[in-house]
Structure 1
């Protein structure tokens, strides 16, 4: 089931397709062919059979007029055997479509899920697909400010993966440096995600860095994020408060419908639903809940 963190992690690749190559060559030590540009490609991976598959994102690395590598990107938040059965189909269909090498990059929020995703998928004798999984252990600790400016999304991933360390200040300083070179909308999106995911103590540390002007480091983005003016701040706070209130109402309606239909809701999925603030996504789930028989019926039917 898509969630807030799922969509934002995908948005990183939509906003910066070259991130796929940077993660493969950096943390995952995969040799990538030389290329001129990285571009986002359609995620529909439908073959001639009736089944339709849709990857979270597809990035192609192009050199002149040819694709030298195609990267299927999946964000996997939990163990789901169905996904491992569909991933080889993603790669085979893309390989047939583009006639180029392909690789599967799976981004995971926890190390156990990353280890599960990274296990080779054996389809038969001599037919093995090995996903490249990026979990917290594979994400480097980014504290170098120049590195944060070069690959700002990696600094965001570093804060998500390592922000709960005993002294996260250098990590957060790199994060704030990275946010300064990202466009304002994405910087806001990533900041909200980091503040949502971090435990309370780490969140307090980051907010102190962003709001204490006497601190030796404060980014331009941090000043904009918190200090755009008292009036605009109040308006933003009221808008966020109204949005949160509306989302809570939609969550309650969704859970009520599912309960009324006798749909069993696992604790983790119930927690994901409760935390969701995306009104569009909640609306989709509510419409599907009206005819749902199982919790899987809330999934997008276009997703493999």
Structure 2
């Protein structure tokens, strides 16, 4: 099931494409900073009506040549994913002719270990194809707990916080991120604060983040946090939906704005928050 937490794990790479080389460098994978990253359509559906869609798809132009990068969020183990990932890689290699890299992002160490296992197709002991995903998880993404370190790369600090959403040290990570957000442009900081809220999902860390946002005062204080503190959860989440659309540059007609703000169903608002990360028009929220 697609959730806001799942979407945020990979969509941070859509919102902040410059994050890509820095996360690969975490794994000591040599990758140049001076590359151009473009988000491309992730729909892999063929003429035959079988819909296949990866999470995020990036076109990356580097000095050593072009790459097609698949970013997948994986919250739990899924035996069927090996076949799906193999399809994505082979299809995209044939379609674009570029080298294809599969990056899988996990929040749980066990899921990350499973994702790293080779996914084979063919005879036992003599596979036709072996897939080795590049996996980013809490066991290899640094836990950024120092405020000054977080301030040096705030986007990476936000990614660290989301990836370590189930870590026992998440409270320290969130504290460092909250302070670091106060060092950058308020609009950008507010957007990353919202993104962190979504990415933490239904976890203790999300509740900690909400508490931090509603009890502390920061220059960038997110509209969601202000609304949460002043007027309650439902209206705060409605504001968060609209804020994400605005940060993505999606125009919100008055009729849609009024409908979102009138919603008091927090489950529906969670669904709208997921959709707000990917719709191309505000009208699609309720489509």
| Same fold by TM-score greater than 0.5 | yes
The answer to whether the 8 Å contact 1:35/1:61 transfers is no
The answer to whether the 8 Å contact 1:73/1:106 transfers is yes
TM-score (normalizing by structure 2): 0.69
**Which is further off, 186-195 or 132-141?**
186-195
Aligned pairs (5 A) from 1:238-249? 239-240=235-236, 245-248=264-267
Please name the residue that 1:56 is paired with. Answer: 55
The answer to whether the 8 Å contact 2:118/2:130 transfers is yes
Please name the residue that 1:265 is paired with. Answer: none
TM-score (normalizing by structure 1): 0.65
CA spacing shift, 1:89–1:172, aligned 2, 3 Å: same
The reply to whether residue 211 of structure 1 matches residue 204 of structure 2 is no
Alignment coverage as a number of residue pairs: 243
The reply to whether residue 197 of structure 1 matches residue 203 of structure 2 is yes
Which of the pair has more CA radius of gyration? 1
| Aligned counterparts of 1:95 and 1:227: Cα–Cα separation in 2 | 46
Structure 1, unmatched stretches of 5+, are 213-217, 251-275, 283-304
CA spacing shift, 1:280–1:5, aligned 2, 3 Å: closer
Select the residue among 107, 114, 117 that pairs with 1:116: 114
Structure 2, unmatched stretches of 5+, are 238-260, 276-287
TM-superposed deviation, 1:41: 1.5
Please name the residue that 1:142 is paired with. Answer: 144
User: Helix, strand or coil: the match of 2:77?
Assistant: coil
CA spacing shift, 1:13–1:199, aligned 2, 3 Å: closer
Aligned pairs (5 A) from 1:115-264? 115-124=113-122, 125=127, 127-160=129-162, 161=164, 164-165=167-168, 168-169=171-172, 171-180=173-182, 181=184, 182-191=188-197, 193-194=199-200, 196-198=202-204, 203=208, 207=211, 211-212=215-216, 219-222=218-221, 226=225, 234-235=230-231, 237=233, 239-240=235-236, 245-248=264-267
RMSD, aligned CA: 3.6
| Aligned counterparts of 1:166 and 1:91: Cα–Cα separation in 2 | 35
